[in-house]
A and B are shown apart, each in its own frame.
Chain A
Amino acid sequence: MPDLLEVEHLRVRFRTAGLVQALLKGLDDPFIDAVMDVSFSLAKGETFGLVGESGSGKTTLGRAIIGLVQAQEGSIKFEGKELVGLKDSQYQEVRRNIAMMFQDPIASLSPRKKVRSQIAEPFKIHNIKDKDPDQEARRLLKLVGLHEGFLEAYPHQLSGGQARRVGVARALSLDPKVIIADEPTAGLDVSVQGEILNLMNRLQRELGLSYLIITHNLPVVRHVSDRLAIMYLGRFVETGTTTEIFEKPAHPYTLGLLAAVPEPDPG
């Protein structure tokens, strides 16, 4: 069976100067490579961790897959279908199957909408008539472990962990196959981080989801990932199974990253 998501030699560039400015400054190449020659694949039910420091291009890679930024070269295949070069309108179908969760749990919810309409939003966007959005909202809220009282709450009334659960519910609403989670534990207390990761694990088992987890938090990837890639300055410097990388890191950058994790009991 082919993998669900296959990324090959992907390259994403950002313009750093306009045409005129580049001419005036004599820049031959007014671009910066955010993602360079990146290849990986994600199988059904698998969790792939993407680790790197700030600015390493991991978030850009995630956004390129969901079509928020354009990739310049390479290919992204979802269930064998090429995504690079699709127009925004052609991306709709993809966005039903791949969902993304953003870093800030509260800021990624529309501030003036109640939880009820946040979760029902995807049904309205994709004009889905055969499901009752209200009932679906209740079902999804229950699925992520929140009681129905939260339906009427606004984002600013939620705690970080509650908002993250609402984000998970929204991401799950259209029964996606892949969830891209950008720093799913950012800004949460350690105990809440654990709860969210356990929730995501449970949902993966129940629904057969595949995760692409983007994080700089090594204990988190170690806890959840089957395989992982270490990203540095837009490139993958090392890929392998989680055990391999944590037991026998090969690249000096990986060694540095691992050494930078604070020990629980230095002594």
Chain B
Amino acid sequence: MTTTTPEDTAGADAPIKREPRLAWLWQLLRNPLGALGLFLVLLIVISALGADVFSPYDYKALDVKNRLAGPSWAHLLGTDNLGRDTFSRILHGGQVALYVALVSIGVSLVLGLALGMLAGYGPRWLDNILLLCFDSVRAFPVIMFALAVITVVGPSLETIIGVVIMTTTPGYARIARNATLSLKNNEFILAERSLGARGKRIMISHLLPNLIAPLLILCSMDIPVVITIEAGLSFLGLGVKPPTPSWGSILYDGYSFIRNTPWIVIAGGIPLIITTLGFTFLGESLRDVFDPKMKKDR
């Protein structure tokens, strides 16, 4: 064989294109919506985590003489019909809301990823069976489904979490499945197979890292949905049991006194709005940073 040039490494020493490690965070903060979203989310998370420190009163303590008081320096957001400090109850309600949202979304994410990858990478018949299950569950309206389950099992925090897991998992699984389907014929997966890699290894170390980013973004946008479901069920008296505070039950307490004392409803509604806006802004901006081409899936 003839070799025209003895040199075979000329271009190999070209420098590696490097990006700074936290470039995505900078990009996120440069977007005003992203910065606002991150700020609101941090506000909610910190106030919920530090609820015991920040609360001026015990959220269960009654102050009967000061029932239905308006905002004052003593009670920042006033008191409810039993004289409990609304500000302290809002902070602790945040704990409940975030607990429900994080646990149920976290479990849904893990389950959805596992089932979705199995459906996408596994044999055709498994895909068909799993898809049938996903679509059957998704056919139920969430609130109706929740009401039915609560009627049977009884209201509790755990029931809400269970219902949310059952209704959100199929959505994650479907997205994971579709992404798996589009990835599995990519050359890097074929290359892995040609090296002898088997299904488990391909799914865990090669598909998973490429699926997780879009799903985490979806999680961020789903958190306020779950918090609203919890608040809605608690408003109907089907969520957490008193005296545990929930933004939904605070709204319900205030609802009866809305003509005389609108403070309670306002105080219960504002954190819901902040949470929804915060997580939605954050999710959308993260999506723009990580994948400008990704279409909104829902």
Chain A residues within 8 Å of B, Cβ to Cβ: 47, 63, 66-68, 88, 91-92, 95-96, 99-100, 102-104, 107-113, 121-122, 124-126, 144-147, 149-150, 153, 157-159, 161-162, 165, 167, 170, 191-192, 194-196, 198-199, 201-202, 223-224, 226
Contact = CB atoms under 8 A, between A and B. Distances in A.
A111 B196 contact: no
A153 B187 CA distance: 19
A157 B209 contact: no
B3 A100 contact: no
Contacts of B190: 63, 68, 102, 108
A202 B19 CA distance: 34
Interface in B11-30: 11-14, 16-19
Interface string B139-181: 0000000000000000000000000000000000000000000
B197 A109 contact: no
B188 A68 contact: no
A27 to B, nearest CB: 20
A126 B196 contact: yes
A199 B197 contact: no
A75 B192 CA distance: 24
A92 B210 contact: no
B16 A110 contact: no
B210 A125 contact: no
Contacts of A147: 12-13
Nearest to B209: A112
Contacts of A192: 11
B160 to A, nearest CB: 35
Given A102-B191, A111-B210, A125-B196, A201 B3 contact: yes
A122 to B, nearest CB: 5
Contacts of B17: 157-159
Nearest to B9: A145
Given A121-B192, A126-B196, A159-B11, A107 B186 contact: yes
A165 B198 CA distance: 25
B7 interface: yes
Contacts of A198: 3-8
Contacts of B67: none
A108 B2 CA distance: 29
B12 A162 contact: yes
A45 B206 CA distance: 33
Contacts of A144: 12
20 contacts: A68-B194, A95-B194, A95-B195, A110-B188, A110-B192, A111-B209, A122-B195, A122-B196, A145-B9, A145-B12, A146-B12, A157-B19, A161-B12, A162-B11, A170-B195, A194-B5, A195-B10, A196-B8, A201-B1, A226-B1
B241 interface: no
A95 B187 contact: no
Contacts of B195: 95, 99, 121-122, 125, 170
A162 B9 CA distance: 10
A113 B195 CA distance: 16
B5 A162 contact: no
Contact of A157 (B1, B3, B16, B210): B16
Given A159-B11, A192-B11, A198-B8, A108 B196 contact: no
A191 B188 contact: no
Contacts of A170: 191, 195
Given A112-B209, A194-B4, A165 B12 contact: yes
Contacts of A194: 4-5
Contact of A107 (B187, B193, B206, B209): B187
A162 B14 contact: yes
Given A108-B187, A195-B7, A198-B7, A100 B194 contact: yes
Nearest to B17: A157
Given A95-B195, A107-B188, A113-B209, 8 more contacts: A63-B190, A95-B194, A108-B188, A121-B197, A145-B9, A150-B16, A162-B14, A170-B191
Contacts of A201: 1, 3, 8
Given A95-B194, A125-B201, A153-B16, A195 B9 contact: yes
A185 to B, nearest CB: 13
A205 to B, nearest CB: 8
Contacts of A68: 190, 193-194
A108 to B, nearest CB: 4
A145 B17 CA distance: 18
Given A68-B190, A121-B192, A199 B209 contact: no
A146 B10 CA distance: 10
Contacts of A224: 1
B8 to A, nearest CB: 4
